[in-house]
Structure 1
């Protein structure tokens, strides 16, 4: 698979929020909400800060070795796990929930971005070691989001009645989706290899988090990616002081609310804290904990605690307490010797709410890196775009904008009334000047006449364009076909499509292609030209 690339500024795509584009452009309005800039200098500052704070390397390495026990592990992974015991080793972390079969393409993109950044930083700062880490958010309970994939334009949904944390769910009921994948993709060059891998991961695993862990290890282990399952009693034990503070004093909510107050003056807030930011996680439930009078209750369940029994439950069973989005970042940054977090726009937005909270708990704030985004474009679509005299960048516009551009270009200016409108504006300018010399009170009358004249001319221009567009039915069909292929369901390809058809066609060459095309800290949108 040959992959040539071109790049676009994120702001030029029109698909990213103001908070993301302002962050990328280092806008002064957003600067108070993060610690280090996403630059090499920012990374060096993050390393210095991390070196001054407590480390939990022994517990981390022990947990990882237990997690990988019995699994065929690439030497690069074993080496990186051992490196984590050293004080000069730091992590580059990305995170995602255990979406079935990885969910969308960006799951792969963010993973390889972590690998690429770790490689680049080792070249730039050889005195340190950098380990790419994938943090599986296996305690997420949003099955509606995680329990489906798109394949060939069809949404395939996992039909299960299980509840609670998706990572803890067993894999039963995925057979129909596996059967559809096998029927459609096994005919491709690497399809049987892919299906065998998926069956091994999903039918030979007790739960979704284990299946996801095994799949990540199989796809990215050769690049040294270390996968961490934080749903672990001993690792959560490290968080007992923070969890206890949240349950009994609700400190986090007050701090984050103050940050949100400042952030929301200019931006849409991504996540709002609750008084208590922990869920109770047991069996098939993951429900919020609320304080009601002198008791703590699990919402929707007949589970209640006094202060004494809650403290005992927390210390005896820390695995039963699950941090929400507000506390998850503290857990990650407490446990890992982390210096950079790679996330999408939504993830970055909620991290911008957390700086003061992490500072309160004396936890380092990582460099925030917007994950890489790609548009994969087949040669046939690129040829069609070129034949229509467009660039690929043009296709980030709407269909109507593209058609207008095409029709206007081919009409040689006959559809534009620029000269006529300009002449009318000049006429009324002279009339205003003449009338003003006679009587200033006549000027508003002239201005009203100007509006009455110009508005019909502008409407005429629009009608002429609409009439001309009707002559371009075939071009409209072609634009629609290209847009549908490159922007399925009207959004970015990476937020809909899955990696499997590409892997079935190209095998591990697809992974290598994405890794080679991945940027480190350059922060631009990448178009991959498939050949």
Structure 2
């Protein structure tokens, strides 16, 4: 494999669910679950539809400008924010929680895809302007999911006792200590000091995680005009008061989602997200708790807080920031405040968005084009050389390790490893035996069949032992394959779902971001493989 660059279909990676693969292939059973196709025609139709599905642009821009007082917007980002006042400007959104230090590689890929698709749309629809937006899921309270990264296989965890929405947590001494430990690993690399300095500049003691994350992401992507939105904002949430009020008082979403889930199940798919009676959390200080209704009383779970109907309506009007959408309503809130035409998400995100169209329709909220985020496998020089030496194709790289080893051992041996001919001969022998015994005692036929089955089992066991012995003969090849797979697919997962950006930045510098941007696709919807040793000229 002299040049690792290329693309393969998502299905051929064997890492994506049936519903995602079918969605990409425009499967007929899924067409009722979407509003627009994920192609140029779908984008065009979404633009026309979005024109009549308006949002409060002045409120949006005011909210964004308030947030950008915490970090400096580049001129192109500020131009994009101002452009949102114009009716011919639309957004393309990706969303993610504030994983520490950006979490997994796909955090970076999602944002770059959003930027690339915005430029693509501008080129194809020059009468309109498109703004890439990162919508931060800052109210997520699952710290165990967000508090760690992997850098070249080593895990770094932020050990903190803070509770509640992760975005509201503060950078503490434990966070600083974790960064210091990370520094010891990467400072020996060519650009290790650069990325650590950038981290230390933006993740400072006492700063909120959402602000630190936004500041860090802004430093990386502001040159592209990326706009970052933190939804934990009283002004922005005030634009969704009617949605929140209906959800609290009428609980419409659960039945709508359950009905949609049944349709998905009937079509042969699994549901991704679970709807509750009230799909909002109560967010206050260091807690994010469910809201449950008991008659005319609303209880905040795991607290002593209760509201009557007038009280919870008053609380919502006075403190909209205290009400936090869960997975069912997060997208509805997003589309209610942004003039968005397309949402870029991972496989899991797209799967649960397919459950939500009736919820959007109920609240009279625009339902955007759904685009699967870009995926990459990054192959560094050592791995590229190993893959070429082994003669592996792109598709073979995605085989399970054991399957790849078996295929390569069989391909690269001169010894006969298959016993198929012996099994065929055995079948003839036992057919003759059946002919022989049937004339003597037909009741012995079942016994002959059992003996035949046992013999086949023994031969298959022998074949397994022969293959195992040949693996020992080709032990060097086996180890090379296992080591290659371990580097490219850590923990038997996709690289992008495990590794963090820091090791790659430390080896290739900030230009690594440009490498990924140049290789990012727009609407092609394929899994890309990049040989980083061939990209140093970018």
Helix, strand or coil: the match of 1:90? strand
CA distance in 2, matches of 1:247, 1:271: 19
Paired residues, number: 529
Q: What corresponds to 2:187 in structure 1?
A: 186
Q: Structure 2 matches for 1:290-309, cutoff 5 A?
A: 290-309=292-311
Q: Does 1:320 align with 2:322?
A: yes
Once the two structures are overlaid, the 10-residue window that deviates more, 15-24 or 38-47, is 15-24
Q: Structure 2 matches for 1:92-491, cutoff 5 A?
A: 92-172=92-172, 173-203=174-204, 206-265=207-266, 266-412=268-414, 414-424=416-426, 451=453, 454-491=456-493
Counterparts in 2 of 1:432 and 1:525: CA distance versus 1, 3 Å: farther
Could you tell me whether the CA contact under 8 Å between 1:382 and 1:392 is conserved in 2? Answer: no
Q: Which runs of 5+ in 2 are unaligned?
A: 534-538
CA distance in 1, matches of 2:354, 2:433: 55
CA distance in 2, matches of 1:89, 1:371: 22
Helix, strand or coil: the match of 1:470? helix
Q: What corresponds to 2:536 in structure 1?
A: none
Counterparts in 2 of 1:433 and 1:227: CA distance versus 1, 3 Å: farther
Following superposition, the deviation at residue 433 of structure 1 comes to 11
Q: Structure 2 matches for 1:57-68, cutoff 5 A?
A: 57-68=57-68
Deviation track 1:393-413 (CA, whole Å, cap 9, x = no partner) reads 312222221221122112346
Counterparts in 2 of 1:525 and 1:426: CA distance versus 1, 3 Å: farther
Could you tell me whether the CA contact under 8 Å between 2:4 and 2:530 is conserved in 1? Answer: yes
CA distance in 2, matches of 1:288, 1:452: 59
What RMSD in Å do the two structures reach over aligned CA positions? 2.5
Query: TM (normalized to structure 2)?
Result: 0.93
Q: Structure 2 matches for 1:28-43, cutoff 5 A?
A: 28-43=28-43
Once the two structures are overlaid, the 10-residue window that deviates more, 497-506 or 244-253, is 497-506
Q: What corresponds to 2:26 in structure 1?
A: 26
Could you tell me whether the CA contact under 8 Å between 1:100 and 1:148 is conserved in 2? Answer: yes
Deviation track 1:414-469 (CA, whole Å, cap 9, x = no partner) reads 11123343455577789999999xx9999988866764554443333233222322
Q: Does 1:86 align with 2:90?
A: no
Q: Does 1:11 align with 2:2?
A: no
Helix, strand or coil: the match of 1:135? strand
Helix, strand or coil: the match of 1:69? helix
Q: Which runs of 5+ in 1 are unaligned?
A: none
Could you tell me whether the CA contact under 8 Å between 1:5 and 1:517 is conserved in 2? Answer: no
Could you tell me whether the CA contact under 8 Å between 1:50 and 1:339 is conserved in 2? Answer: yes
Once the two structures are overlaid, the 10-residue window that deviates more, 27-36 or 212-221, is 27-36
CA distance in 2, matches of 1:117, 1:232: 27
Deviation track 1:360-419 (CA, whole Å, cap 9, x = no partner) reads 111111111111111111111111122223234312222221221122112346111233
Q: What corresponds to 1:54 in structure 2?
A: 54
CA distance in 1, matches of 2:192, 2:487: 22
Following superposition, the deviation at residue 224 of structure 1 comes to 0.7
Following superposition, the deviation at residue 479 of structure 1 comes to 1.9
CA distance in 1, matches of 2:442, 2:271: 50
Once the two structures are overlaid, the 10-residue window that deviates more, 220-229 or 11-20, is 11-20
Query: TM (normalized to structure 1)?
Result: 0.94
CA distance in 1, matches of 2:30, 2:443: 48
Helix, strand or coil: the match of 1:130? strand
Counterparts in 2 of 1:335 and 1:205: CA distance versus 1, 3 Å: farther
Following superposition, the deviation at residue 169 of structure 1 comes to 0.6
Counterparts in 2 of 1:199 and 1:444: CA distance versus 1, 3 Å: same
CA distance in 1, matches of 2:132, 2:435: 70
